[in-house]
Structure formats: C-alpha cells, structure tokens
Chains A and B, each alone.
Chain A
Amino acid sequence: MTIGRDTVVLFDASCLVAAGGSSRGGSAFVLRLCARGYLRGAVSRPILAEAERNTREKMGDLAAVQLERLLLAADLTRILVPVWNVASGVNEKDRHVVAAAVAGRADVILTLDRPLASEVNLSALATVAMTPGDFIRQELPTHPDFPFAHH
C-alpha cells in the first residue's frame, strides 16, 4: 500500500481513548499528522461516543480534555453510518466500525484491537486494519512527504 495526503484513516475508539491517555503514543501521533494535513482522518458518531465514554469514565477529565484538543486540531471527517450491521467476518461489537469504514471509503482502519485487525484483514473488505505502531513503521515511510520536514 502507498499512502499520501488523500489516504483516509478511520480511527477506532481504542485509538482515540489511547490518544487521550498518552499524548506521546502512536494514536496521538497519527492524529497530529491529520491535523497537519498529511492524512485524512475520519471517525463516526458511534466511535466517538464509545471513545468519549471510555476516556471520561476510565481515564479521567485530563484525558478527556487531551482527546478533545486532539480532535479539534485533527478536524476528522464525521462519517454517517447508514447501516451498522454490515455482513462481514467481523465480530458483532465492532461491525459498526467496519460499517463506517465502508461508508467512508476508508483506506485504513487504525485500531489497537489486534483481533479486530485480524478479522478485517481476513475479510474480503477493501480496507486494511492495523495498529498505529504498524502504520507508522510500515506505511508512513511510503508517504511522499515523509519525513514531514519542519515548515
């Protein structure tokens, strides 16, 4: 896969929660790339709802504020999910993520849930799923702007 400024990256809730918890983690890093226009970040309302609930209830107020700042800067595209229950080999709890990826024509689903990534990658979907770490290591070097020099 070759990526670029038009690559649509759908953030799973697990990544958003982690970004709220750690500003130096892989998820926050990819969100910053979206904020700078190097990638096109996307999310759905159900994903945001899951992220916001878990950040607030499990990580606390500081993490919630951190996530909010990152989301504001990244200005992710909100994908409307018309049908949640897309037919796929993906477990039920995560099908809305796949539905968002299909509706938003996402090139990549970023997730920290490795079982979900495996299910997506074993399915017939055009979207691939990977962790932010794998994305940074394997795909980012193919970006024409890599290594994103200072402006």
Chain B
Amino acid sequence: MTTTRELAQERLRVQEAAERLGVSRSSVYRYVREGRLTASRDEQGLVFTGLDVEILEGYRSFGRRGPRLYGDKELTEFLAEDQVELPSELRHLLTA
C-alpha cells in the first residue's frame, strides 16, 4: 500500500526530474511510459538515475527524442567501411 509520505516523495523526485529537463511532471511520467526515461521503484516510489536524466537532457538539447536511427544507406556505408583486409601477421587474433 502506498502511503501519503511515499506519494509525496515520488512527487518530489518527479518534480526534480521535470525541472532538470524543463518539462512538466506529466511529461516525465510520459517519458517513463515511452521508455525514454528509465525509472525504477523503491519503497518511496519512482527513482531516476541522474545519468538517465542527463542523457535525456542531452538529447533534448539537440531537439531529439532519443538515440538517432541510421538510414539504410548510411548503415550500408558503415558496414562496407568496416571491411578490412588484415595484415597477415594479425590474422591469428581473429580466431582468438
């Protein structure tokens, strides 16, 4: 059962995250539902790690919602660029 103290504690944590991100408390809850902000629960309600808030804050500074998704052409180019003919003296490391 949730007590009023626990509810107040959770509200405080959500408020802190909201202020840090410059959004409303309801947006913080929405971010959690959408998986953009990771939250866990302890006996006093939702817990946000500072790092997760920081990451979301970083994306927001670029006007983005989260990690960008590569286009197919871009991904194909990356994979092609990664194909390397190793010098023969290094090939033994491939099987390690």
Contact = CB atoms under 8 A, between A and B. Distances in A.
Interface of A: 13-15, 17-19, 21-22, 24-27, 29, 32-33, 36, 45-46, 49-50, 52-54, 57-58, 80-81, 84-85, 92-93, 95-96, 112-114, 131-133, 136-137, 140, 147-148, 150
Contact of A50 (B54, B68, B75): B68
Given A29-B90, A81-B54, 20 more contacts: A14-B78, A17-B75, A19-B82, A22-B79, A24-B94, A25-B83, A25-B84, A29-B94, A32-B93, A49-B55, A53-B69, A54-B67, A54-B69, A54-B70, A84-B61, A92-B62, A112-B78, A112-B81, A133-B83, A136-B86
B55 A25 contact: no
Interface residues of B, number: 29
10 contacts: A14-B78, A18-B81, A22-B79, A22-B83, A25-B79, A25-B82, A29-B90, A33-B93, A53-B66, A112-B78
Contacts of A114: 81
B82 A57 contact: no
B92 interface: yes
Nearest to B60: A84
A32 B84 contact: no
Nearest to A78: B51
A93 to B, nearest CB: 6
Interface in B46-60: 51, 54-55, 58-59
Nearest to B62: A92
A27 B80 CA distance: 12
